A and B are shown apart, each in its own frame.
Chain A
Amino acid sequence: MKLANAEADYSQQNYNINLAIDGKVDQSGWAVDGHAKIENRRAVFTFAEPITSESGLTFKVRMLHRLGLSHQIARFRLSLHESDSPPLSMSVAAILARPKEKRSPADIGQLHEALLQRFGPEDAKVAFAKLRDLERQRVKAMAAVPATMVMREMASPRKTHVLFRGEYDKPGEEVQAGTPQTLPPIPEGLAGNRLGLAKWLVMPNQPLTARVTVNRFWQQLFGTGIVKTVEDFGSQGEWPSHPKLLDWLAVDFVESGWDVKRLLKQIVMSSTYRQSSKLTPKKLEADPENRLLARGPRLRLDAEVIRDSALFASGLLNQQVGGPSVFPYHPVGLWQEINNRPGYSRTYQQDSGEKLFRRSLYTFWKRTVPPPSMSAFDAPGREYCQVRRSRTNTPLQALVMLHDPQFVEAARHVAERILREGGETQKQRIEYGFLLCHARQPSELEFSVLKDVVETRLAQYTGDRDAANKLLSVGDSPIDDSHAVPELAAWTAASRVLLNLSEFVTKP
């Protein structure tokens, strides 16, 4: 006997009455919070086809109760009802049972719909179905737009007090929003709220915002800000090395309409930035941190830049902009290692395909377990605002560059590019590899080292295809099989050398 429809006066969350007739006897069913709410419940089932018989019928009902001690049924009753038309739905029946004046507009809408479905003309039913369909489409379209948090000022701002020793139940003096005394006050006419603060930040006589901003871009490019303590322009901060330069850049930045691209271009095209960064013991002794800018910047790149550079050199980088965070390669077991409480923890679900190669900016960040390859290169934990990173040089970084599948796989793709795009001769190819990874030509000595790598490895891998295959199989991306395995493996080994040079993680 096929059941077409089921309706109940109550269903427990995730145990809707429809699950009672979904055919999956052992997996799902109806429940009514019976362990917590001991009440009478009713369900109505409708047959799919009318059943007629001359000689009378016997119905056999088999009901499975699959829960241990709670959710017991006390008094159980079945009844059968005959009708030519489908029964009124229980919710409609409930509305009808209510006095007219107690029906909400939504109730009345539901009654209209029921009336229409039962007695209405065909064209009205079609129009109604179309309306419903459009409503569904609208809901679906809205759901596709990501939600974002916004803040709105309260109509009357909440009172704020200084709390005695920070304790929330010990309020002291009431205070108003304002700026620290050493800074300009919020001008008359601006509200003491977030909009007022935003306008204050960019007002023409605001001494800090533009200076702080250009200083941070300066730090990004030169490694050290003109004010070294980029996070602190206060009395504890360091004095600028070039105060007039900072002022000029800040004013020019504001006058350009806060044009960041123009600012960056201006700095990188300056002769100061384009100086050679070569060091001599004398230079180093005279100015170890290059605060006087007598040479170009030379510094270890940031964690994100290193990974992105490897992806870029290999041609793997996915330059898509925007979208949710992604889950690139990550050592197995890290999340569970510090939290394996059922229901409170999960395992890292690594992405596949294109998502493995997105810019590091999009890497998912779990603050209690930051991505270890990023932490190794001084990416801050993001638990505290940190605008100046330490710049260390450690064995763990060597291990990441040597063994993180991301970099081994990138080396394979650098090799594929060398073979595909680098030309025919070994010389052209080595030069192309250097160009991809270091943006320059190798010296003769460098060339000979690389040549030696390629030749020894080619001989080795020709004799040991298993080793070659093992090297090539690191990473998720498919192997370009248009190249001989030993050859691709030999160039992959050479590319690993290129990616592991100090120069690869250093600017310039």
Chain B
Amino acid sequence: MNPADEAGLQVNRRHFFSSGASGVGAIALSSLMNPQRLQAGTSLAAENGPGYSPGHPGKPHFPGKAKRVIYLCQSGAPSQIDTFDYKPSLEKLNGQELPDSIRGGQRLTGMTSRQSSFPAAKSFLPFRQHGKSGQWISDLLPHHHAIADEICIIKSMYTEAINHDPAITFFQTGHQQPGRPSLGAWASYGLGSESENLPAFVVLLDKNTDPQAQPLYARLWGSAFLPSNHQGVKLRSSGDPVLYLNDPTGADRNDRRQLLDRITKLNELRKADVGDPEIDTRVAAYEMAYRMQMSVPDLTDISDETEETMELYGPDASVPGTHAANCLLARRLAERGVRFIQIYHRGWDHHGGLPTRHPKIAKEVDQGSAALVMDLKRRGLLEDTLIIWGGEFGRTVYRQGGNETNYGRDHHPRCFSIWLAGGGVKGGISYGETDEWSYNILDRDRYGVHVHDLNATILHLLGFDHRKLSYRFQGLDFRLTGVEDHKPVADILA
């Protein structure tokens, strides 16, 4: 059942969906019922006030603690052993063969299945306790030390996929095979937009520096069978910031306004003749496009940030396309009412040379990610903004190739660590534990967090019962979290 429907909006449900950009369809419908509202060429935004939204004016099932989400996706999969899963036991197990009892007959990837030996490797950097909470974090992420009390580290994440493409697709769409709506699209579908100038779901891609990084796929922010107005819109660091935002003819603002006014005028004449409310919707869409053209430069112009803020995010923040710059933009997007902001950082997939390559990628993301948490906190935005940080699976405790000092780690879906912050999640805690090899989750039935559980938690924080947020397609009521029994992780909710 659609949440908006449950909330009892006074709109005919059929028209609601048939008009596609449903919210506007509804507004257009109300305009049609009060035809005087649209005359005199005033813009719909002016008519409808700042609450006007071209997205889905969705209503959650219950009041959610998070109003928006910022997802810092670490594509390629960081090693839990070298970041957040503190394992003093590995000090003595270092170099020892992974016992069969621990591996439990697990099928390995083609990359290590022919290895004759599986020696364990401890974290290549020391762990230390930080904050009042005393959370253990590796020296790989020094800026994270300052946010130890804000983040909830889930050490008992697990997934079903063992390769990047299906695994990241599973994380982001709830299904390993392509073709399902992304998490952000579901959020946009459920919540609608808060912004009258910007899309509900914005995607930022950090510039990749690792020559062997895994690719991304448009499906990760796609809408699949949900109406396409829920697809993620990329905010780009080079070229048009939003695709097709800039006028290739170089027309100035007056020219553009004039063009738009003529289009609107003719559209209105047509509307008066044929009475189609979709024409009003289109007029509104052109108006929003025009506002986007003006609001995006304002959004991306960070010259109004204080020196202190720039210092918080670090020197990268002034280099477009870096993680720090995108984190800063994410905060600016959050302030402007964007519901779901997805940042992708690639390059964590280190099958070889991990002790030298992990630090490079860690350095690229560490300060920006941490700064975002601190910045939102001091602005009072952390309370209702959920931040998620993590990859699509973990990495093996055993070495892939190499020797004691220079080695890789293979894919490991059985346990890994991610962190959440803000938006109704308890800070300064860890959830779940792994065995002394960081290979299996201890008491997985009780403490394991499946990808669907995480997504159910995210939806819960946004105010949705994940079992009820669904969309009918090809005879099935699809939902993000599949058909099996999964539930939000109650213990981490504030």
A interface residues, Cβ below 8 angstroms from B: 229, 231-232, 234-237, 277-281, 283-285, 288-289, 298, 300, 331-333, 337-342, 344-345, 367-370, 372-373, 375-378, 380-381, 383-384, 386, 390-400, 402-405, 408, 443, 445-446, 449-450, 452-453, 456, 467, 470-471, 474, 493, 496-497, 500-503, 505-506
Say whether, besides A284-B32, A339-B216, A368-B219, A331 and B278 are in contact (CB < 8 Å): no
Which residues of B in the span 1-57 have a Cβ within 8 Å of any Cβ on A?
12, 14-15, 18-21, 24-25, 29, 32-33, 54
B interface residues, Cβ below 8 angstroms from A: 12, 14-15, 18-21, 24-25, 29, 32-33, 54, 178-180, 199, 205, 208, 211-219, 222-229, 231, 233-234, 236, 238-240, 242-251, 258-259, 262-263, 265-267, 269-271, 273-279, 281-283, 285-286, 288-289, 292, 472-476
Say whether, besides A393-B285, A396-B244, A402-B244, A445 and B21 are in contact (CB < 8 Å): no
Are B262 and A390 neighbours in the complex by a CB distance under 8 Å? no
Interchain nearest-CB distance for A448 vs B (Å): 10
Q: How far is the CA of A189 from the CA of B229 in the complex (A)?
A: 50
The 6 closest A-B pairs by CB, nearest first: A384-B179, A339-B215, A236-B475, A383-B178, A279-B275, A288-B15
Are B239 and A392 neighbours in the complex by a CB distance under 8 Å? no
Provide 28 A-B residue pairs closer than 8 Å at the C-beta atoms, listed in order of the A residue.
A285-B12, A288-B12, A288-B14, A288-B15, A298-B278, A300-B20, A331-B244, A333-B239, A337-B234, A338-B218, A341-B211, A341-B214, A368-B219, A378-B227, A383-B178, A384-B178, A384-B225, A390-B223, A392-B20, A393-B25, A393-B282, A398-B282, A449-B266, A456-B258, A467-B251, A493-B259, A501-B266, A502-B276
Q: How far is the CA of A21 from the CA of B251 in the complex (A)?
A: 58
Are A368 and B217 neighbours in the complex by a CB distance under 8 Å? yes
Interchain nearest-CB distance for B285 vs A (Å): 5
Are A474 and B248 neighbours in the complex by a CB distance under 8 Å? yes
Point out the residue from A386, A399, A467, A470 that lies within 8 Å of B244, measured CB to CB.
A399
Are A381 and B218 neighbours in the complex by a CB distance under 8 Å? yes
- Give every chain B residue within 8 A of A383 (Cβ-Cβ): 178-179, 219, 224
- Give every chain B residue within 8 A of A500 (Cβ-Cβ): 259, 263, 286
Are B270 and A381 neighbours in the complex by a CB distance under 8 Å? no
Interchain nearest-CB distance for A117 vs B (Å): 50
Point out the residue from A236, A338, A391, A497 that lies within 8 Å of B20, measured CB to CB.
A391
- Give every chain B residue within 8 A of A467 (Cβ-Cβ): 249-251
- Give every chain B residue within 8 A of A278 (Cβ-Cβ): 273-275
Are A403 and B245 neighbours in the complex by a CB distance under 8 Å? yes
Are A281 and B33 neighbours in the complex by a CB distance under 8 Å? yes
Are B218 and A404 neighbours in the complex by a CB distance under 8 Å? no
Say whether, besides A288-B12, A338-B218, A398 and B289 are in contact (CB < 8 Å): yes
Are B20 and A452 neighbours in the complex by a CB distance under 8 Å? no
Q: How far is the CA of A394 from the CA of B227 in the complex (A)?
A: 11
Are A288 and B215 neighbours in the complex by a CB distance under 8 Å? no
Q: How far is the CA of A380 from the CA of B216 in the complex (A)?
A: 18
Q: How far is the CA of A279 from the CA of B47 in the complex (A)?
A: 23
Q: How far is the CA of A341 from the CA of B262 in the complex (A)?
A: 46
Q: How far is the CA of A456 from the CA of B240 in the complex (A)?
A: 29
Are B276 and A231 neighbours in the complex by a CB distance under 8 Å? no
Nearest residue, chain B, Cβ from A387: B474
Are A372 and B243 neighbours in the complex by a CB distance under 8 Å? yes
Interchain nearest-CB distance for B84 vs A (Å): 27
Are A232 and B474 neighbours in the complex by a CB distance under 8 Å? yes
Q: How far is the CA of A383 from the CA of B211 in the complex (A)?
A: 27
Are A395 and B205 neighbours in the complex by a CB distance under 8 Å? no
Q: How far is the CA of A232 from the CA of B475 in the complex (A)?
A: 6
Interchain nearest-CB distance for A385 vs B (Å): 8
Q: How far is the CA of A471 from the CA of B180 in the complex (A)?
A: 41
Q: How far is the CA of A285 from the CA of B11 in the complex (A)?
A: 11
Q: How far is the CA of A48 from the CA of B401 in the complex (A)?
A: 52
Say whether, besides A393-B282, A399-B242, A368 and B215 are in contact (CB < 8 Å): yes
Nearest residue, chain B, Cβ from A337: B205
Which residue of A375, A383, A493 has the most chain B CB atoms within 10 A of its CB atom? Answer: A383
- Give every chain A residue within 8 A of B12 (Cβ-Cβ): 285, 288
Q: How far is the CA of A470 from the CA of B240 in the complex (A)?
A: 18
Q: How far is the CA of A397 from the CA of B281 in the complex (A)?
A: 12
